Structure 1
Amino acid sequence: MIEIINGNGSFPCLIVCDHASAHIPPALSGLGLAPGCDTLHIALDLGIEPVVRMLSAALDAPAVLTGQSRLVLDTNRWIADSQSIPESSDGVLIPGNICLSEADRMDRQERYFWPFHAAVAEQWAAMRARHANPAFFALHSCTRQLALGSMRTMDGGTIWHEDSGFARMLAQSLGDQFGLTIADNAPYSGIGGGSFTLDYHCWSSGKPACGFEIVNDLIAEEAGRRQWAGYLAAGLRSVLQ
């Protein structure tokens, strides 16, 4: 189920979380995955769902969260992307996604992709009606290391495509206030369609919009999650107010 938190929140920023849940609907028989895969980063952005809840409460800001695993369907990818419904992820095969028919793919899109983006669009329209210049903030977590890739030394990173202003002001605020190392458009770039959610809801809107990745070992425990909710609340207040 899609979840909307604090829908009438007063802070002029909509928080969106594409990868909040590891839930796989019972009808999909666990996608044929081995037990324990739902605790891995391939299934969801580890640690981010409680950070979103804490941040929403701290700011009094609305938030929209997905209700299913990105292994069922990734709401932050274009539906034509082969990884929209991945057959493997970080070296793990996903049997329930292999050789899906076009009808099966369209069924998942109708069940999970379009309803989520309709909910985001509704909340974003309401926010634009309430505020002259609201912001759109898509929150994620990333791994310290992906497969055999190099170690990421950053604490977090921004994601942007059309306009870097909001992202770079937020990064500077977090660095100045808390000494955090925030990478620019990393570890994933939003340029060229790297973030469906940002582009679909914000392209050409003229509104401040960016994504943000927290390295997930920093939010593995409750204390780190509360700390990061505080960091982001302070950073967003300083930039948007």
Structure 2
Amino acid sequence: MIDELPYRRVGEAKRGGIVCVADHASNFVPDDVVLGIPSELLDTHIAVDIGTNGLADRMGRRHGIAAHIATVSRLVCDLHRTEDALAVVPTESDGHLIPGNIGANLEVRLERFHRPYHTALGEWLDEVEPELIVALHSFTPKLESKVEDRPWQVALLYNQDDSAARHAIRLFSEEGLTVGDNQPYSGKQLNATMDRHAEAKGRKYLTLEIRQDLITTKAQQARWAGLITDVTNRVALAIKGES
């Protein structure tokens, strides 16, 4: 519906604690937005970061890491892009044309979805002053548009500040996981939300990419929520010890 917020909050944020952000957690498309694609594509990685909604929700409800969770599909408006990025209202994704977005009114989409989401997120973070932000994403094991080896189970993305990521890479590796370092995407090109709300503000953050087949079920999400909580708490302690 037109008046619904493009985000929801789960959990009560602790001032100076750890919070979670999930930009791509939803595949929802409002009734008045016509994308012109087969409905089954909305359940794939082009529309949503599979598993992140359940993961962020569980972290907020069970692990004390309050979450700011997107409630609209990135095919409607990609909240993890800058306003001037070509893909902020994508016209194609992984080889699939999004015909309803060709010629779409960009300003209307930004005003309705992108700006309220980021304004609210910015105000929330200013109020909470977190010691660490966890940005949750997931990646498909296999792209349709190109052949690419994706062996990682979890990856850390970063732009200029890799101080928290370095600790997390080590800690996830110690759990026996195959960990990507700025893979399968580089945070130097794709880190818009944390560039804006973390690096620009001097806040520490982790941008996590988890392979989607590992967080599809509730049981998998429960396991990973516990693991991420443990790792992020240890990262926060390490960062505090360095200051």
Q: TM-score, normalised by structure 2?
A: 0.90
Counterpart residue number, 1:63:
67
**Post-superposition offset of 1:113:** 0.2
The residue aligned with 1:200 is: 196
Question: Partner amino acid for 1:240?
Answer: A
Give the corresponding residue for 1:141: 138
Q: Work out the CA distance in 1 between the residues paired with 2:109 and 2:203.
A: 30
Q: Provide closer, same or farther for how the CA distance between residues 11 and 38 of structure 1 changes in structure 2, counting only shifts above 3 A.
A: farther
- Root mean square deviation, CA, Å: 1.5
Does residue 1:224 correspond to 2:220, yes or no? Answer: yes
CA distance in 2, matches of 1:85, 1:205: 26
Identity %: 30
The reply on whether 1:35 has 2:39 as its aligned counterpart is: yes
Structure 1 position 209, deviation (Å): 1.4
Deviation string 1:155-186 (CA, Å, 9 cap, x unpaired) is 1111111211101101211221x211111111
1:10 deviates by: 6.0
SS at match of 2:206: strand
**Counterparts of 1:52 and 1:149, CA distance in 2:** 30
CA distance in 1, matches of 2:39, 2:28: 13
- CA 1:36–1:204: 2 relative to 1, 3 Å: closer
Contact 1:14 / 1:123 at 8 angstroms: preserved in 2?
no
Work out which of the residue numbers 54, 61, 71 in structure 2 matches 1:50. Answer: 54
AA aligned to 1:222 is K
Give the corresponding residue for 1:165: 163
Once residues 13 and 162 of structure 1 are traced to their aligned partners in structure 2, the CA distance between those partners, rounded to angstroms, is 21
Matched AA of 1:4: R
Q: Supply the distance in 1 between the matched residues of 2:227 and 2:55 (Cα, whole angstroms).
A: 11
Quickly say closer, same or farther: Cα 1:47–1:11, change in 2 above 3 A: farther
Aligned to 2:86: 82
Q: How far is 1:150 from its partner?
A: 1.4
1 CA distance for matches of 2:14 and 2:162? Answer: 26
Counterpart of 1:97 in structure 2 is 101
Residue among 5, 16, 29 paired with 2:10 = 5
Question: Residues of 2 paired with 1:58 and 1:232: CA distance?
Answer: 12
Q: Distance in 2 between matches of 1:203 and 1:173?
A: 22
CA distance in structure 2 between the partners assigned to 1:214 and 1:127 by the alignment: 26
Deviation, 1:11, is: 7.0
Cα distance in 2 for residues equivalent to 1:140 and 1:77:
13
Give aligned pairs, total.
231
SS of 1:83 mapped into structure 2: helix
Instruction: Name the SS for the 1:32 alignment partner.
Output: coil
Preserved contact between residue 198 and residue 209 of structure 1 (Cα < 8 Å): yes
The secondary structure found in structure 2 opposite 1:15 is strand
Could you list the runs of 5+ residues in structure 1 that have no partner in the other structure?
A: none
AA matched with 1:99: G
Question: Runs in 1 of length 4+ with deviation above 6 angstroms?
Answer: none
| Structure 2: distance between partners of 1:8 and 1:234 | 17
The TM-score, its normalising length taken from structure 1, stands at 0.91
**1:206: Cα distance to partner?**
2.6
Point out where structure 2 has 5 or more consecutive residues left out of the alignment: 238-243
- Return the offset for 1:59: 2.9
Q: Which secondary structure does the structure 1 equivalent of 2:74 belong to?
A: coil
Counterpart Cα distance in 2 of 1:74 and 1:161: 19
Aligned 8 A contact 2:161 2:199 in 1: no
Aligned to 2:128: 127
